[in-house]
Amino acid sequence: MNSKALDFSIVIPTYNRPERLANCLAAIAQQDYAPELFEVIVVDDGSPTSLEGVVQPFYDRLQLTLLRQDNAGPAHARNAGAARARGRFLVFTDDDCTPATTWLSALAVACNAHPQSLIGGQTLNALPNNLYSTASQLLIDYLYHYYNQAATTATFFASNNFAMPTEPFRAVGGFDTRFPLAAGEDREFCDRWRYHGYDLVYAPTAQIYHAHHLDLVRFWRQHFNYGRGAFCFHQIRAQRTTQSIRVEPLTFYLRLLTFPFVRADWPTVFPLAGLLLLSQVANVAGFFWERSRSQSLPPHPFVVDSGN
């Protein structure tokens, strides 16, 4: 084991996507950051076949640990990786992401400038020719624009590209494992992080490329699940703050539907606006489906499903 103090522990939850995981690790191995200053912890969330053959070529290029758990969801997997971390800062990304070569260097600048803050980087679409993937990324861009209008008073970052000091992460309890899917647990963590008095800071130079392959069915399922996660988030937040469940105002949705006219290329504006509308229909359907489901279950209903 390398005795030198580590700056970062990069935690990657993964489930049954060996080729994407290999691409992610290859990008991390090409960072312009000294490899002796960071480690990588891959947490296999119960994949049906071993990932040892995927990670083995990277053992001589990275300080790499492979953990395996029974399938329990990405929140469990991230917490398991964080429990083994030795770095001063935790960094989370996903197996379908490829960081830019300057990713860790940019995070280091932001983390050293704001050592008690959660740092969120910028996610870029790796599949610009896929209209569904482009629409999904456009939605994330809108959420960052809406929730993070000032870089140092941000309120939400996605867990495929953020970092924070290790000890405060553990002190606030890590990710809430009651969420049913890979949807909403990062939003809840950001909200709880702020509830405990810590800040979120945007670092747009810390960039990753997200290759989320979508078609119409997968697009609908993704945003339906986001709606389920949104209900879980609002219910947990209401319990913590003793307030009733509150959702975004109508202006949030009106601005979302006009966002493509500001950000997208003209030939794709109307198709993207239509897909954003569809995403919100799916989101609302998922929200009310999860609400109905939770009312038929005993207290603390957020049981983790399989899949990432």
Burial of 112 (0-12, 13-18, 19+ CB in 10 A): exposed
Predicted confidence at residue 245, as pLDDT, reads: 65
Per-residue pLDDT of the chain (308 residues; tens, 9 = 90+): 455 689 999 999 999 999 999 999 999 999 999 999 999 999 999 999 999 999 999 999 999 999 999 999 999 999 999 999 999 999 999 999 999 999 999 999 999 999 999 999 999 999 999 999 999 999 999 999 999 987 667 999 999 999 999 999 999 999 999 876 678 899 999 999 999 999 999 999 999 999 999 999 999 999 999 999 999 898 888 888 776 666 788 899 999 999 999 998 889 999 999 999 999 999 999 999 998 987 765 444 333 333 34
Edge-first strand order for the sheet with 161-165 is 64-68, 38-44, 8-14, 89-93, 161-165, 118-125, 200-210, 97-99
Rounded to whole angstroms, the Cα distance separating 219 from 147 reads: 23
Predicted confidence at residue 294, as pLDDT, reads: 79
Per residue, the 3-state secondary structure of the chain, as one string, reads CCCCCCCEEEEEEECCCHHHHHHHHHHHHCCCCCHHHEEEEEEECCCCCCCHHHHHHHCCCCCEEEEECCCCCHHHHHHHHHHCCCCCEEEEECCCEEECCCHHHHHHHHHHHCCCCEEEEEEEECCCCCHHHHHHHHHHHHHHHHHCCCCCCCCCCCCCEEEEEHHHHHHCCCCCCCCCCCCCHHHHHHHHHHHCCCCEEEEEEEEEEECCCCCHHHHHHHHHHHHHHHHHHHHHHHHHHCCCCCCCCHHHHHHHHHCHHHHCCHHHHHHHHHHHHHHHHHHHHHHHHHHHHHHCCCCCCCCCCCCC
Nearest Cα to Cα of residue 136 among 275, 293, 43, 242: 275
| Assigned superfamily of 8-213 | Spore Coat Polysaccharide Biosynthesis Protein SpsA; Chain A (3.90.550.10)
Q: Give the residue extent of every domain in the chain.
A: 8-213
Pairing state between β 200-210 and 97-99: antiparallel
Predicted confidence at residue 84, as pLDDT, reads: 97
Rounded to whole angstroms, the Cα distance separating 43 from 76 reads: 9
* Percentage of the chain exceeding pLDDT 70: 92
Rounded to whole angstroms, the Cα distance separating 165 from 171 reads: 10
Nearest Cα to Cα of residue 60 among 87, 35, 95, 34: 35
Predicted confidence at residue 304, as pLDDT, reads: 31
Locate 157 and state its tokens: 């970052």
State pLDDT tens for residues 154-207.
999 999 999 999 999 999 999 999 876 678 899 999 999 999 999 999 999 999
Rounded to whole angstroms, the Cα distance separating 278 from 275 reads: 5
Predicted confidence at residue 307, as pLDDT, reads: 35
Nearest Cα to Cα of residue 26 among 65, 6, 54: 54
Amino acid at 245: I
Asked if residues 127 and 213 have their Cβ atoms less than 8 Å apart, the reply is: yes
Predicted confidence at residue 149, as pLDDT, reads: 82
Predicted confidence at residue 297, as pLDDT, reads: 52
Angstrom CA distances, 21 to 3, 12, 13, 100, stand at: 27, 9, 9, 15
Predicted confidence at residue 306, as pLDDT, reads: 31
Predicted confidence at residue 180, as pLDDT, reads: 60
Locate 246 and state its tokens: 């509150």
Locate 100 and state its tokens: 């830019």
Q: Give residue for tokens 């489906």.
A: 289
Locate 229 and state its tokens: 């996660």
